[in-house]
Amino acid sequence: MIEILKTLFAIFSALFFTIDILGNLPIFISLTANYSPRYQRKMAFKGPVISFFILTAFALLGNVILEWFGLSLPAFKFAGGILLLFLSIDMVMANPEPQMKSESGAAKKETDRRQDISVFPLAIPLLSGPASMTLLVLMMKEYQTQPINQIIVIVALFLNMLLCWVAFRYATYIAKFLGRSGINVLTRIFGVLLTALACQFFIDGIIEAFHIKF
């Protein structure tokens, strides 16, 4: 039992830092700052749920999917970099979003419906990014002869997504504490960091694809 708990903690920790829940929390606040509390709660739930199913499917079928379509992990990193780059540019430039306070109830619902961020960019590529996909594939491959440890990997993933939901669920209170100015500052700061992360994905993809050594 102790060994199982040690394995669970090790895998949970690796996924926690790879998924980067704490790093994605300010991004979630920035992306949902101008929307209704109901919308924020909905995205806080949908994002981790969708991400859990995506990552679970990738953990179980990752190698098969890559082989079937003739894709490589470096290609996933490069694609993730492109998606993050588009998002980060919007955040740095602070493109204006509809101001919810000046809209009617019907307008709020319509805006919320049109701006569903649960799939992109929340689930993909922020929570279900190339790094977390790669890590899960490697873990499942390492434990391919140990089904119990493979189950532990899925359990650790579930616990991370549960923690992510809790963090996002109460992001509204954090947003109230920070205020509009604080959110705008965080939006630009994390936009710059996301730009750097996108570039890192590009670099990693190129290095791994062409086997470049430094």
DSSP string of the chain, one letter each residue: -HHHHHHHHHHHHHHHHHHTHHHHHHHHHHHHTTS-HHHHHHHHHHHHHHHHHHHHHHHHHHHHHHHHHT--HHHHHHHHHHHHHHHHHHHHHT-----GGGS-HHHHHHHHHH---IIIIIIIIIIS-HHHHHHHHHHHHHTTT-HHHHHHHHHHHHHHHHHHHHHHHTHHHHHHHHHHHHHHHHHHHHHHHHHHHHHHHHHHHHHHHHT---
**Cβ partners under 8 Å of residue 17, min gap 6:** none
The answer to whether 133 touches 55, Cβ cutoff 8 Å, is yes
Give whole-number Cα distances, 152 to 9, 50, 58, 166, in Å.
Answer: 10, 20, 15, 21
Task: Look at 165 and 66; give whichever has higher pLDDT.
Answer: 165
Q: What is the pTM of this model?
A: 0.69
Does residue 213 register a pLDDT over 70?
no
How many percent of the chain have pLDDT more than 70? 86
Rounded CA separation 164/27 (Å): 13
Question: Contact at 8 Å (CB) between 127 and 52?
Answer: no
> In 3D, which of 126, 115, 151, 141 has the Cα closest to residue 4?
151
Residues ≥6 apart with Cβ < 8 Å to 28: 43, 44, 47, 122, 168, 171
44-53, 112-121, 143-152: least confident range: 112-121
- pLDDT, tens digit, 9 for 90 and up, residues 52-67: 999 999 899 887 877 7
Q: How far apart are the first and last CA of the chain?
A: 43
The token duo for 119 is 């799939």
Binned at pLDDT 50, 70 and 90, residue 95 comes out as: low
Q: Minimal CA–CA distance to 80: which of 132, 41, 32, 35?
A: 132
193 pLDDT above the threshold of 80: no
